[in-house]
Structure 1
Amino acid sequence: MARILAIDYGTKRTGIAVTDELQIIASGLTTVATKELIPFLKEYIAKEHVELFLVGEPKQMNNEVSESEGSIQSFLTKLTKAIPAMPVKRVDERFTSKMAVQTMIDSGLKKGQRKNKALVDEISATIILQSYLYNQ
């Protein structure tokens, strides 16, 4: 089997999480400056066998798309041109940032550490990936 890679896209930085090769465990990988995202993904899939990209889909409480969806669609267009053979699925990402902060609190991280937005993005990507794995 191959890994699944989850992307919590942001206009400044993007959180990335990945499964193990058996697709059992979701782990935070890193946070990447969004302008470096596609080169990072190309380099990663050249080294690791990845079969699927998951991209968070921000929705509002009434199930309508969030205003950030426009920038995500632009990214998806670039991604499918850069890596056309890789399938992409979308996953509802409502509440992932709040869940990420709560995870940080539960882990005992101090308030200053919880302000690390890059870590929040990486944990959010992990939550998106775990959600997908649980719902398969």
Structure 2
Amino acid sequence: MQTDLFSISKIFTERLLRIPDYQRGYAWTEKQLKDYWNDLCQLEMGKNHYIGVLTLEDVPESVIESWAEDHWIIKNKNFAPFYVVDGQQRLTTTIIFIQAITEVIGKDKKAICNLRLDHEIFYKIA
């Protein structure tokens, strides 16, 4: 079992992540989003935020064969396919959060300095 700490960018480096069908759908509410946001706001400059455990499981070869649209990245680019079996709520929130930030920054480069919990970013997530 690999127990290394990775940055968000490293998690997505040469990996194709899928959430298996048996996992529950996205269920975070405003409470979890506020907790997440408060954790980020309290982060000291130069420090990293530990988002929690992410448990990945190898995808069986028989399943990979049915992912025809992904063969190019798995076979040609050597991306390793994994199921996310724990941590999918945190991972999904982080991805949505990053996307929302890029959309806000795209409109106003100074906006990142003024983000608040009631900012439109969180309406996009919630």
Larger Rg: 2
Superposed pair shares fold, TM > 0.5 = no
So what's the TM-score if we normalise by structure 2?
0.29
In the superposition, the TM-score normalised over structure 1's length comes to 0.27
